[in-house]
Structure 1
Amino acid sequence: MTRILALLSFLLLVSPLQASEPIMRYLALRDGWVSWIYVHVPEQGDLNLEAMDGLMAISISRKEPTANGLPAQADAPMLQAFSDTVSAALKEFGGIYLGEQSGGNVTSIYAAIPLPNDGLRDALLKNVRALGHEPDLRAKLGGHEEFYASFLLPTLYDYEVQYNLAVTQALAKQGDLAEVARDVEHFAYFKNAEGAAAFENLIKSYGYIHSKTSKAEAGPGEHLVRFRHFGVIDVWEISERTLKLKQAALEAGGEYDGWETQVIKTRNGG
């Protein structure tokens, strides 16, 4: 087995608004769909959302759906034109671009806006239709600050998914069949034997099998706890596990250090 350390895979992109205002992109589950989320994260200051009155969603459906609901590479020019068009209208009529969601073969741009704003609505209808799409426009009073914080900004679980995507994608590049169940081994380090013992008892209650606790030759602690579970390689399920394990190790005074598994290239486990 080759141990693979998960790496953060967030991408900072150039905003269609200003080069000094980056956009964070990450993969997440939203509204039951695997989605690309783009969120406006200004480097200086905040978005001044308290000055806005409400939330608007501007949505279009892709004309050539994909099986997983995510945009294809060929969709990139159209989606960029859509984003640029909406951003220009928001700038003209005093709105603030918050972010985007692309999933379920629908792309939605979210904005905080002053209300009423008939000029913005008319401009969006006209200009998005000029791109060859019929937009679905929905606006409501209030809720924009909570939506930005709870829907667009990444949660701890979202961060965990990005870390584990680096591992699952590396396995896939080696020909791994993720749907085949196998042993997955985990590692955690502790500074003392008491912390390691407390963690061992905790993971047993979670259903893990304790493999071994030994003196660590290297790492962030003197005691290394190795343990495993049996299952398929699903980034969403793995991320639920690793988030819980990180929190449990921290509570026991240690540090969860990741997981590894054998690359499986045949359905009989070989």
Structure 2
Amino acid sequence: MTLVKCILFSCCLLLSIAVLAQKDHWEAYIAQYEKGAGSTLVNMSLKEKAPDKQYPFLLKAGVRLIDCTAEGLPGKDDWDALYAISDKIKAAVNSLTPNIQAGTFSYQCDRMDYYYVKDTAHARAILSSVFKTSFPKYEYKIEIRSDPSWEAYLTFLYPNEETMEFMENEKVVMNLKKEGDHLNKPRQVDHWLYFNTAAERDAFVTYALHEKFKLEGKEYKQKSKLPFQLHISRIDKVDMDSITAVTLALRTKAKELHGDYDGWETFVVKD
């Protein structure tokens, strides 16, 4: 068996030329909305400084898809054009005002790029000219509004806790599958958590034992922000639905006790 350590991690997802130019941490995810699936590409790096009061205006610009899937997402024939459209939007916004690129959202055959900008003067006219001149086949949309609290980013583009859990677990499960694991057999899954006090850690241990987890160990990490480490394990399945239910419950309980859930590890099972 091959050991795969599954501590939560992040990666840069580079989906367009515009994003390739960035050094920020980008993530993509698909979530279900009122009318169907929506695909989001979001600049995760902005979370720590949001809202940035220097960029109080939200600028959204994009097009109505020509090649649209049954789910309302971009089809393969639109991608080259969408890359070019995003690059042109970025170049136009850069020429107009200091800005921060926040993300892209595709939903119900629309694809919109999101920016936070310092100034909106002439933005609509310049972008309209770009669309009409460079992409005359596409119906375009432009929205500009005040958003000093960055509500669009913090409560819409940025993934909620459940989506984040799914995203992180999906990366891990994909690695298991690449190693030849069919994910159909339960196996020991180890989990790591950190707490501010020994009392909070002990309260979590009581919860964990009640949920049939095994206590594997406790350590004190003196230089850590949350120094009281906890290691627990349980026999579980590791398909997406099963493991996400487990990790979300652990993360939620740890948060209640001012702690942090740090990830999980398991073995690849190939037979």
**TMscore range, shorter length:** 0.5 to 0.7
- Within a 5 Å distance, the mapping from 1:11-50 to structure 2 comes to 11=12, 16=18, 22-30=23-31, 32=33, 33=37, 35-39=39-43, 46=52, 48-50=54-56
1:171 corresponding residue in structure 2: 176
Which residue of the partner structure matches residue 212 of structure 2?
A: 209
- Aligned residue for 1:134, secondary structure, equals coil
Which residue does the alignment assign to 1:78? 81
Give the TM-score, by structure 1 length. 0.65
Query: Deviation at 1:209?
Result: 2.6
Percent of aligned pairs with the same amino acid: 22
Q: Where in structure 1 are there 5+ consecutive unaligned residues?
A: none
Name the CA shift for 1:101/1:138 in 2 (closer, same or farther; >3 Å). Answer: same
User: What is the match of residue 139 of structure 1?
Assistant: 143
Count the aligned residue pairs.
254
1:98 and 2:102 correspond? yes
Further displaced range: 59-68 or 196-205: 59-68
Q: 1:59 to 1:31 in 2, by over 3 A?
A: farther
Query: Could you say which residue in structure 2 is the equivalent of 1:259?
Result: 264
Kindly provide the CA deviation profile for residues 94-143 of structure 1, in whole angstroms up to 9, marking residues without a partner as x: 4844321346765321235627855135314314524xx41341425434
What's the CA shift for 1:174? Answer: 1.9
Q: Say whether 1:233 aligns with 2:240.
A: yes
Match of 1:5, SS?
strand
1: CA distance, partners of 2:140 / 2:43: 20
Counterpart position of 1:151: 156
1:194/1:167 Cα in 2 relative to 1: closer, same or farther (>3 Å)? same
Residue aligning to 1:6 = 7
- Where 2:25 maps in the other structure, the secondary structure is strand
Structure 1 residues 238 and 196, CA gap change in structure 2 (3 angstroms): same
Residues 169-189 of structure 1: per-residue CA shift (max 9 Å, x gap): 2112023335x4745624246
TM-superposed CA distance for 1:30, in Å, is 4.2
CA contact (8 A) 1:181 1:232 kept: no
Matched, 1:88 2:95: no
Name the amino acid aligned to 1:125: F
The equivalent residue for 1:109 is 113
In structure 2, relative to structure 1, the CA distance for the partners of 1:38 and 1:251 (3 Å cut) is closer
Secondary structure of 1:10's aligned partner: coil
2:28/2:42 contact within 8 Å kept: no
3-state SS of 1:163 partner: helix
Q: TM-score, normalised by structure 2?
A: 0.65
2:89–2:127 Cα contact (<8 Å) kept:
no
Deviations 1:214-247 (A, max 9, x none): 456999868643234456324xx74464244235
Would the alpha carbon gap of residues 75 and 195 (structure 1) be closer, same or farther in structure 2, given more than 3 Å must change? same
Question: CA offset at residue 146 of structure 1?
Answer: 1.4
Measure, in 2, the Cα distance between the counterparts of 1:40 and 1:227: 31
The residue aligned with 2:128 is 122
1: CA distance between counterparts of 2:4 and 2:62? 44
Cα deviation per residue 1:141-194 (whole Å; 9 max; x = unaligned)?
43473112322345555554453233112112023335x474562424679997
Q: Aligned pair in 2 of structure 1 residues 175, 35: CA closer, same or farther (>3 Å)?
A: farther
Contact residue 68 and residue 74 of structure 2 kept, 8 A: no
> Unpaired runs of 5+ in structure 2?
222-226
Is the alpha carbon distance of 1:18 and 1:176 closer, same or farther for their aligned partners in structure 2, counting shifts above 3 Å?
closer
